A and B are shown apart, each in its own frame.
Chain A
Amino acid sequence: AQTVTQSQPEMSVQEAETVTLSCTYDTSESDYYLFWYKQPPSRQMILVIRQEAYKQQNATENRFSVNFQKAAKSFSLKISDSQLGDAAMYFCAYWGYSGAGSYQLTFGKGTKLSVIP
């Protein structure tokens, strides 16, 4: 079964600084998608950024970018110019074949990001 590991339960960053959240995953598939979701205290899960495994170029969305290392099965999120509104739980997620004809989204346990004014 696919697994997603986020080794940093909590992180903090100074406002306007840069922070990197780590994620590793385990899969035997070659075609899959990876995501970072943000979950603020309002509980709404919001998609931050998406990476297709067959694309070598790292995805970028404004202040958010990823470092996708397919061979190492690593998918880190970099947040530049951190803002107070970035404070939230961040979940790394994998979408792909999970066996028996099934595809599903598998989440890590999350990293709680605090932004210090």
Chain B
Amino acid sequence: DAGVTQSPTHLIKTRGQQVTLRCSPKSGHDTVSWYQQALGQGPQFIFQYYEEEERQRGNFPDRFSGHQFPNYSSELNVNALLLGDSALYLCASSWDEGDEDEQFFGPGTRLTVL
């Protein structure tokens, strides 16, 4: 049973560019959440997708947007990159009909903005 997968593993961008990160949820899961983890900090909730719509959002600017596809996979897009966007981006999946609080995490994408 494949767990949560994310791509790419690492990414280097320059300020002002745009980036897309991808996530495939664990088999049987229909809900995807994204988190930003700055160096030395705990993860911070960006947003959650369910039924191809953004259901909840944390305190992040509109430069952060996402998408969920019919197969439940998801993308995180960040526009106009800032140096402060450098972080580990984690994707977590869960099953809406189950214990929604029980989220399974992927290995993350390390984004470096130069």
Instruction: Give the B-binding residues of A (Cβ under 8 A).
Output: 4, 33, 35, 37, 42-47, 50, 91, 93, 95, 102-110
Contacts and interface: CB of A to CB of B under 8 A. Distances in A.
Contacts of B41: 109-110
Nearest to A101: B56
A104 B58 contact: yes
A104 B45 contact: yes
Given A91-B42, A109-B42, A103 B58 contact: no
A107 B35 CA distance: 10
A107 B102 contact: no
Contacts of A91: 42-43
B36 to A, nearest CB: 11
B65 interface: no
B56 A104 contact: yes
B42 A107 contact: yes
B100 to A, nearest CB: 7
Contacts of A93: 42
A43 B107 CA distance: 6
A87 to B, nearest CB: 17
A44 B107 contact: yes
- Which 8 pairs show the lowest CB-CB distances between chains A and B? A107-B42, A45-B105, A95-B101, A33-B101, A102-B56, A104-B45, A43-B108, A44-B107
A44 B42 contact: no
A19 B70 CA distance: 45
B32 interface: no
A42 B44 contact: no
Given A43-B107, A44-B107, A45-B105, A105 B88 contact: no
B50 to A, nearest CB: 12
Contacts of A47: 102, 104
Given A91-B42, A103-B100, A104-B45, A42 B58 contact: no
